[in-house]
Amino acid sequence: MPELPEVEIARRNLERWFKGHRIVRAEADPTRVFRGAELPHFTRLTGRVTALERKGKYLLLSLEGGHGLMAHLGMTGKFVRRKEGEPVPHSRARFHLDDGHVVHFSDPRLFGRMEPVPAKELWELPSVKALGIDPLTEGLTGPQLQEAVGDSKQDLKVALMDQGRVAGLGNIHAAEALFRAGLHPARKPGTLTPDDWKHLARAIHAAFDFAFKEQEGEDITYLEEAGSVNRFRVYGRANGPCSKCGTTVESFTQGGRTTHFCPKCQPLSMVAVRASRKGTAAGKGPASAVIGPKPRSRRR
């Protein structure tokens, strides 16, 4: 599933593909990627791309003539470039360029979203304005991360994935960052120290840098696709050995998503356990209603 690094790779590819070229024709199929009324507006997206920006998982394209496009890749969407006439499976929209190439938006599961709007309105779209801090374009330090996430009552990983707090973090890279920082996904943000926030901010950047190194290229392959190779350190490695210590990686359901972690490298510390018990005693309900494994303090 595309998250911030994959969307940034898409932005860089589009920027390179469109540079020095004109879109001579834009076309789209009447799928749920578009509302019917938007199709005529999409066909007006011709000429040169004047700006190609990103906020979280959203791509924002501005073209000459004042036209603009907001694009969200959804769960399986991606942009690919092929020569004119070369078929692309699940192509939902196409930009025909003056150099004989076509940039396709391929989306097998149809969860992607494209919205043609005037370029001047792109950053005013409610879905864009609602986003939190972007780790790449706005920077992300320990204090900034604490300010964005620290007041959340949710589990740490769930809070990190709240797009209104940190834009672009998804299930994969949140799990990877927490593993790098040695923090249990079910910790409560209020139990983290300033050093914890600093380490976590650095871990988020490290997880992104790793993704760029491993995935950047014209044809990105998502982990769920056939033939992909899992190069992540903890995500998707349940029941296998931890890459750091060899302990069996565990998983549980958290916020409706599968969370992977190493119980030895990411202990649920007693300070977090005490905070959870305090919240429950105060009548606030369980600290993590969907958490699967219980703290294993007796084993540590």
Element (H, E) at 15: helix 4-18
81 phi, psi to nearest 5 deg: -115, 130
- Tell me the C-alpha distance between 200 and 192, whole Å: 10
User: For 224-232, which contacts have Cβ atoms below 8 Å and span 24 or more sequence positions?
Assistant: 224/1, 224/76, 232/172, 232/175, 232/176
Q: Are 230 and 241 in contact (CB under 8 A)?
A: no
Radius of gyration of the chain (CA): 21
Q: Any bridge partners for residue 12, and if so which?
A: none
Residues involved in catalysis: 2-3, 57, 257
- Tell me the C-alpha distance between 110 and 122, whole Å: 22
What's 249's DSSP letter?
A: P
- Tell me the C-alpha distance between 187 and 288, whole Å: 9
